[in-house]
Structure 1
Amino acid sequence: MKYQAGDEFLQELPLILAGPILKHTESDSVTVWVALKQSCQIELKVYDTTNDGEVVGNCLLEGEYSTFALGKYLHVAAITARSTDGHRLTGGHIYAYDLQFTVADQTLRMQQALCSNSSPTVSISYFDHQKPTFVLPPNRLQDLQIFHASCRKPHGHGFDALPILDGLIEASANQPQHRPHQLFLTGDQIYGDDVAEPSLWVASTLGDTLLGWEEQLPVNGMCCTPQQLPPGERADVATNQARLTAGLHNKPEKVNSHLFSLGEYYATYLLAWSPVCWPAAFPKGHQVMRDRKAIKKWNREVRHLRQFIYTLWKVRRALANIPMYTIFDDHDVTDDWNLNQAWCLRVLGHPLGRRIVQNALLAYTVFQGWGNTPGQFAKGQSGEKLLVAAQAWSASQGKDAKAEEAIARYIGMPANDPHTGLPILVRDGAVFILDRHPEALTWNYIVSSDCHEVIVLDTRTWRGYPADQKPIAPPMLLCPKAFEQQLLLPLQQVVEETQIQTTFVIAPTNVFGLQVIDWIHHWHLQQEKVFSTDVGDAWNINTEALATFLTTLFEERQQVVILSGDIHYSSVAHLSYAHTHSKLQSVLVQLTASALKNEEVLTRLIHTRLKDWLLPEKVRHWIGCINPPNMVEISEKQLHHNRQMLANSDWHCVLEWIPRNSVQTFRFKADMSSLIAPWKRAENAKWKWLQPLMFWKFRCFQDGREVIGLNNLALVHFELEDTSSSCKVYQDLYWFSPWYPTQVVYSRFESQLTPNQSLLR
């Protein structure tokens, strides 16, 4: 049974398929991203407001842009509005924006473009004037509110936590001093590998319809279309033809429905951020599957997806009303993407593997990267050249070889050696890095305000693979060249007009993980089973890279806050760092938020008190040297009984895990029970009589101390303790309580932004 998403289906949809999504926003420019079904000229205007956002005033910024035709029914634009008279937006004030679309000779207002016959009313505003609104970051650190999160798999277990953001914005929509200022999604915004069969059933047909043509995928020396590789039957092609690693170690279910085509990646983004293109109903399992187990799996995944779709309108509204910044991790492309040198040689040296990575990166560029760094897509820049090439590639129905070469060049795909067919690696000091064209786009970037700076790292495409070790050796997540360009130079930039009060660094993969995870990684590395648990994705597996990372940070900053995700649990870790031969001390606080929707049995267990009872995290110590950079973990006993070891080092550091406070119930103005679909509420009610017997769901058992292992969303804010420069950083993690599933609760982690003197002695 085929999903009916042809021309007639698209014609019934509204003009706007996804968005508007508010992207890079500063005092002198505002960027908004949209995906449309028709080519348009778009006008963006940003307005002043009065009466706490209730009344729209004068136009302050404006801009125009024409969409790029990425397919017959997919026309995308990121429009940037700027001031014509030097006006600058300020913090602590609510601004509104509006879009106007010119299609042929017809002009549509944004509200008209959002609606269709099937959806006559669509809300993306919290005010009667129906315009999205936002606030800029304040000039005081204690007023700053940043949300961050990662890992959102539509069919993942548990409720999607991202719609909670909508309730939080709605509760403070008319309070500029309390509204959140920025949202950072730190990786795995989509899953290219672990895809539900019903999701691929939609994405495959929808993707072809959006493009208006079927991509010819290089499979086994022949060409296959996406429709010839149906859901649930892609494991062999993914593992043996594309050479992807997600399905290794007897895990074919992870790639049974892997995304392959460009249209599928495009469609998956539309389905992740907007309810518009989802079908009104799914077929029953027996209508599309034959095997009994497959039928049961299909029906289970449909139930998860229906709940996900039910709250998508809230996600859409939230993303229209807060600046969203993103960076990829591996699943935005495929599991283990660029994990080590062995993966690069294995996948990028095969035509299908290379095509999949290229398709995924092009889709990321259009749907995420463009809005992160709109300056790279200005006229004549590499981004615009990429969009022109993507447009030509689609217009030729995937036959324009020059357009394909240009796409590969601008997204940074390495050239393949004509003799071996393998990707070209070049030396950067003691490591190999993937070769790339000088005009390739950069994915790392900086966001700054009057009170903070955020340095977003690309730890996927600038890895350094050790030249003197096996190809499976853990890499440097940033090669020497990347350390300089992404970290050192941004840290050394002098900000003359503002006083930066704190520095955030976004590291998509964790800098420090739980001790038990380290043990597992080191054991798997010894067994050379590096793909089963992503060995090498954590910074502390390659001690040379971690030592370089810490010394680079602390040469320029004494206080650093790391935002991270990836690992499907949330936590806070505090690192105190001291130079051995001086009194200089520094602090790093790692705030991890994961997953938005991908809780697992293991994360549910470590969420409870079992983790604290059986495997509590202990204080860990390292000593390190600067030249050459390296660090060694030592015990507390060694530290106190062998002071000469410490004297011979350049620095030492101490890591401690911050316990979470007792669970608190948040009082939303909005009805948060609306986040649960009616059929899910009915299902919960049916089993309510069993609740007293489910001791593992009791609040006292769920109130663990070290991590949040259920789907969650993180809010970061600060508190100045006194008139001095010392302050506390808080991470509030919002999640659905197991003991009362329609209730949203939060757990607070609090950490000093000063070194722990008692541990450094």
Structure 2
Amino acid sequence: MNDLFGAEFLQASPLILAGPILQQTDSDTVTVWVALQRPCEVVLQVYDTANHGNLITNLLLEGRRATYALGKSLHIVVVTAESAGRYLLSCDRIYAYDMQFIESSTQQQTLQQALCSSRFPTVNISYFDHQKPTFALPPTDLQDLRIVHGSCRKPHGDGFDALPILDCLIESAANQPRQRPHQLFLTGDQIYGDDVADPLLWVSSQLGDALLGWEERLPLIQQTAADPSYVTPKQLLPGHRADIATHQAGFTAGLHNKTAKVSSHLLSLGEYYASYILSWSPACWPSSLPKGREVMHGHRVSRRWDKEVQDMQQFIHTLWKVRRAMANIPVYTIFDDHDVSDDWNLNQAWCLRVLGQPLGRRTVQNALLAYAVFQAWGNTPKQFTPGQPGEKLLQAAADWSASGGMNMVAWDAIARYLGMPPTNPRTGLPEFVQYDSVLVLDRDPEALTWHYTVRSFCHEVIVLDTRTWRGYPADQKPIAPPMLLSPPAFTQQLSQPLEQATHKPKGLSQMQATFVIAPTNLFGLQVIDWIHHWHLKREKVYGVDVGDAWNINYEALAKFLTTLFEQRQQVIVLSGDIHYSSVVRLSYTRKSIGSEKKSVLVQLTASAFKNEEIITEIIHTRLKQWLLPEKSRQWLGWTNPPYMVEVSRRKSYRDASSHRPPEWHGLMEWISRTSTQTADFSTNISWLMTAKEQAKSHKWEWLQYLAFWKLSWFQDGREVIGLNNLALVHFETDNNNCTKVMQDLYWFSTWYPIKVVYSRFESELIHSKLSKS
């Protein structure tokens, strides 16, 4: 077991370790990400199809690029296909793509050959007989647009993984370009760097070292001369990292007696690399995992290991569907905190605590480098073209790995291009710069930007980075809640994209829908607000993420709303983070002399893919609406300077606005979900459970009818979906030109037999006749 990923394992593994993942795709370029175990030149070809996608026809786009050696057995590339003749892809068609992998003048593999090996003799990543992955561009009519989103996918989290449901959605409409999903947005926590199952760390640590071909020297602070100055990942065993993660790295997830959250924290670059591969592909998982008694000491920790192994096996069982889905739909991502560590950049105190420690800074940089390579590269491939900061980052990462982690010039270059703040040589703490009344982490002018905008024929999606551009109040305590977007971030990430001229196909007068991706919620449950303010008063901010919700800082939220509504009349916000799904509608009315302007914001929250908890399972049911129903809430606001106050029955209008008349009014309402429906593709979900899970389900079948809390009538709550879920967003316009946005939340029923079911949330957008200015 000590040489789990030796030469024999890699020889029996396919050339492709993870992928292909279809990423940024528009009318003139198609981008695909892939991770290989050997260096190659990769050719990407995009084809037209006929007969509803069943027949491959003309070659339309082509591109090629060589891999980057990020480890001895890890070679990654994002290749973009373009048209030499400026051929433009159109909507309402099915397109297919193929890949070739050229290792030498005499050695070349097709996509299908590169996916297969002795361990995986057959691999299917297509929905058609031709075995090529396919996609369809977003339509010109908003009513035909299908967007999928979700967040928070923890491999050992409770419940079944909901991301494989995407494969069912695509498969059921694969030959229908208007009906199949057009884009997937992963809105945060694609991996978990902090809350890691012991078996996952055990595999990640060994796989990471095998991929790199060297062992990383993780820096430590020496309290005495006899203390070690560094450790390697394998010296930090699963289940035994709480002390080093909390005190040497400074991470906050393990504070307040929550050591289990960091007892297997990822630390090394190889571990972060490996976690992505293990989350997206079955290719590097060993055929079996050891029993707890073989690797752990103690009955309690051995039992926990065995339970987590069962979770891992169930997770691995459906990974083939995740892999196929991500090959057949454009995938766009943005990080949240767990992609690095819980509470990442939560407040100024966290930055000082973690980035002021050598191991904390090293781990954050490792996590950001892994994010750049595995996610950001495909989001914004132009940043990684020759001469651009991304390409310089890739070269520095290759140099760092080639040196076995000893080339500090390369390491410093990586820090610069990732936007890591410089360290003050006198204090050892990260540097900040001040904008107005807030402090922002300093960054090099050449640093990559993580925010971006996606535009299509009928919609635009503005993806925000609310982690690395925060504004920390300069005149308050370091634990004070920040602005999730600092003043320069508001300009660069929101104002400028909203002002830019959008790509409008001929015949379209305006963009039909504007989406904004905010990884953390603008508005949440009222009880969560109470909890946040209660903990803030007691200066206990880390346990419940005080500062990650927009409405804990009213100045920033008011600026966000006014900035949006200055440019757009209706906005749809996609968010995740909070492990339940819901829909909230904010009606915004701005008054001026002799007129008023009405706008609307609809917040669509989808979380978690795999991380349901006891509390979310409770609020999923009717119990929540019986005991603590959500009520409408109202705010009064001002634009210069931006601010807002909530109006309640205990506060009069005069109390809230005595200093000057309000300039706008906001009314927030919770949208109720419809009764649960069975999905059309739910007739056969034999793919869902492992043999052990199926046997367990049959064994307790009789109990299903006694457990009333699992039955459909009790599970049919009205406010939130609290079980693992995936969201499909689409639109409907009636004869009166009134448009509704609909979010269908798909989840697995708790009753027997288990089915894929969904509940729908419907919210009206602005009716054109209701607005006047």
Shorter-chain TM-score: which interval? over 0.9
The question of 1:190 aligning with 2:188 is answered no
The question of 1:347 aligning with 2:354 is answered yes
Counterpart contact for 1:580–1:647, Cα < 8 Å:
no
Counterpart contact for 2:701–2:752, Cα < 8 Å:
no
Structure 1 residue 754: deviation in Å? Answer: 2.5
The question of 1:593 aligning with 2:606 is answered yes
The question of 1:704 aligning with 2:711 is answered no
Amino acid at match of 1:737: S
Report the Cα distance in structure 2 between the residues aligned to 1:643 and 1:423, rounded to whole angstroms: 39
Counterpart contact for 1:576–1:653, Cα < 8 Å:
yes
For the residue of structure 1 that corresponds to 2:216, the secondary structure is: coil
Q: Aligned residue for 2:256?
A: 249
For the residue of structure 2 that corresponds to 1:672, the secondary structure is: coil
Structure 1 residue 319: deviation in Å? Answer: 0.3
Counterpart contact for 2:647–2:656, Cα < 8 Å:
no
Structure 1 residue 671: deviation in Å? Answer: 2.5
1:538-573 deviations in Å (ceiling 9; x for gaps) = 000000000000000000001000000000000000
1:651-677 deviations in Å (ceiling 9; x for gaps) = 110101001000001121772232222
Report the Cα distance in structure 2 between the residues aligned to 1:741 and 1:478, rounded to whole angstroms: 46
Q: Aligned residue for 2:677?
A: 664
The question of 1:555 aligning with 2:566 is answered yes
Structure 1 residue 8: deviation in Å? Answer: 2.0
Report the Cα distance in structure 2 between the residues aligned to 1:538 and 1:474, rounded to whole angstroms: 9
Amino acid at match of 1:78: V
Q: Aligned residue for 2:226?
A: none
1:307-386 equivalence runs, <5 A: 307-386=314-393
Amino acid at match of 1:398: G
Counterpart contact for 1:150–1:594, Cα < 8 Å:
yes
Report the Cα distance in structure 2 between the residues aligned to 1:727 and 1:77, rounded to whole angstroms: 41
Q: Aligned residue for 1:580?
A: 591
For the residue of structure 1 that corresponds to 2:270, the secondary structure is: helix
Moved more, 441-450 or 715-724: 715-724
1:53-68 equivalence runs, <5 A: 53-68=53-68
1:65-110 deviations in Å (ceiling 9; x for gaps) = 0000000000000000000101000111000000001012311110
1:370-420 deviations in Å (ceiling 9; x for gaps) = 000000001100000000000000000000011000000000000000000
Counterpart contact for 2:187–2:519, Cα < 8 Å:
yes
Report the Cα distance in structure 1 between the residues aligned to 2:271 and 2:378, rounded to whole angstroms: 21
Structure 1 residue 679: deviation in Å? Answer: 1.6
The question of 1:515 aligning with 2:516 is answered no
Counterpart contact for 2:622–2:718, Cα < 8 Å:
yes
Counterpart contact for 1:673–1:743, Cα < 8 Å:
no
Counterpart contact for 2:94–2:135, Cα < 8 Å:
yes
Report the Cα distance in structure 2 between the residues aligned to 1:19 and 1:258, rounded to whole angstroms: 25
Q: Aligned residue for 1:448?
A: 455
Structure 1 residue 223: deviation in Å? Answer: 1.0
The question of 1:166 aligning with 2:167 is answered yes
Counterpart contact for 1:576–1:755, Cα < 8 Å:
no
The question of 1:235 aligning with 2:207 is answered no
Structure 1 residue 138: deviation in Å? Answer: 0.2
Report the Cα distance in structure 1 between the residues aligned to 2:282 and 2:683, rounded to whole angstroms: 21
Counterpart contact for 2:221–2:358, Cα < 8 Å:
no
Q: Aligned residue for 1:34?
A: 34
Structure 1 residue 636: deviation in Å? Answer: 5.2
Report the Cα distance in structure 2 between the residues aligned to 1:670 and 1:459, rounded to whole angstroms: 41
- 2:757 aligned residue (745, 750, 753): 745
Report the Cα distance in structure 1 between the residues aligned to 2:403 and 2:11, rounded to whole angstroms: 23
Q: Aligned residue for 1:535?
A: 546
1:170-219 deviations in Å (ceiling 9; x for gaps) = 11111112111000000000000000000000000000000000000012
1:503-551 deviations in Å (ceiling 9; x for gaps) = 0000000000100000000000001000010000000000000000000
Amino acid at match of 1:738: T
Report the Cα distance in structure 2 between the residues aligned to 1:188 and 1:638, rounded to whole angstroms: 38
- 2:486 aligned residue (479, 483, 504): 479
For the residue of structure 2 that corresponds to 1:750, the secondary structure is: strand
Q: Aligned residue for 1:617?
A: 630
Counterpart contact for 2:170–2:181, Cα < 8 Å:
yes
Amino acid at match of 2:532: H
For the residue of structure 1 that corresponds to 2:566, the secondary structure is: helix
1:61-80 equivalence runs, <5 A: 61-80=61-80
**CA gap 1:638/1:238 in 2 versus in 1, 3 angstroms:** closer
- 2:281 aligned residue (274, 277, 285): 274
Q: Aligned residue for 2:578?
A: 567
**CA gap 1:665/1:756 in 2 versus in 1, 3 angstroms:** farther
Q: Aligned residue for 1:401?
A: 408
1:631-650 equivalence runs, <5 A: 631-635=644-648, 648-650=661-663
Q: Aligned residue for 2:642?
A: 629
For the residue of structure 2 that corresponds to 1:417, the secondary structure is: coil
For the residue of structure 2 that corresponds to 1:296, the secondary structure is: helix
Report the Cα distance in structure 2 between the residues aligned to 1:154 and 1:644, rounded to whole angstroms: 48
Counterpart contact for 1:646–1:652, Cα < 8 Å:
no
For the residue of structure 2 that corresponds to 1:316, the secondary structure is: helix
Report the Cα distance in structure 2 between the residues aligned to 1:350 and 1:663, rounded to whole angstroms: 50
Q: Aligned residue for 2:81?
A: 81
For the residue of structure 2 that corresponds to 1:112, the secondary structure is: helix
Counterpart contact for 2:143–2:733, Cα < 8 Å:
yes
Report the Cα distance in structure 2 between the residues aligned to 1:513 and 1:217, rounded to whole angstroms: 39
Counterpart contact for 1:625–1:631, Cα < 8 Å:
yes
For the residue of structure 1 that corresponds to 2:602, the secondary structure is: strand
1:601-647 deviations in Å (ceiling 9; x for gaps) = 00000001111011100110110111111110012575678897698
Report the Cα distance in structure 2 between the residues aligned to 1:164 and 1:541, rounded to whole angstroms: 34
Report the Cα distance in structure 1 between the residues aligned to 2:410 and 2:687, rounded to whole angstroms: 47
1:734-761 deviations in Å (ceiling 9; x for gaps) = 0000012530000000000128999x9x
Report the Cα distance in structure 1 between the residues aligned to 2:689 and 2:165, rounded to whole angstroms: 11
**CA gap 1:334/1:757 in 2 versus in 1, 3 angstroms:** farther
For the residue of structure 2 that corresponds to 1:673, the secondary structure is: coil
The question of 1:734 aligning with 2:734 is answered no
Report the Cα distance in structure 2 between the residues aligned to 1:733 and 1:757, rounded to whole angstroms: 31
For the residue of structure 2 that corresponds to 1:322, the secondary structure is: coil
Report the Cα distance in structure 1 between the residues aligned to 2:660 and 2:258, rounded to whole angstroms: 49
Structure 1 residue 497: deviation in Å? Answer: 3.0
Report the Cα distance in structure 2 between the residues aligned to 1:645 and 1:85, rounded to whole angstroms: 64
Report the Cα distance in structure 2 between the residues aligned to 1:436 and 1:152, rounded to whole angstroms: 30
For the residue of structure 1 that corresponds to 2:705, the secondary structure is: helix
Amino acid at match of 2:646: E
Amino acid at match of 1:202: V
| Structure 1 runs, 4 residues or longer, greater than 3 Å off | 636-647, 755-758
1:277-319 deviations in Å (ceiling 9; x for gaps) = 0010011111111111101100100111100000000000000
Q: Unpaired segments of 5 or more residues in structure 1?
A: none
For the residue of structure 2 that corresponds to 1:370, the secondary structure is: helix
Q: Aligned residue for 2:225?
A: none
For the residue of structure 2 that corresponds to 1:300, the secondary structure is: helix
Counterpart contact for 1:575–1:653, Cα < 8 Å:
yes
Q: Unpaired segments of 5 or more residues in structure 2?
A: 223-228
Q: Aligned residue for 2:131?
A: 130
Counterpart contact for 2:739–2:767, Cα < 8 Å:
no
Amino acid at match of 2:394: L
Amino acid at match of 1:729: V
The question of 1:155 aligning with 2:166 is answered no
Identity of aligned residues (%): 65
Counterpart contact for 2:580–2:606, Cα < 8 Å:
yes
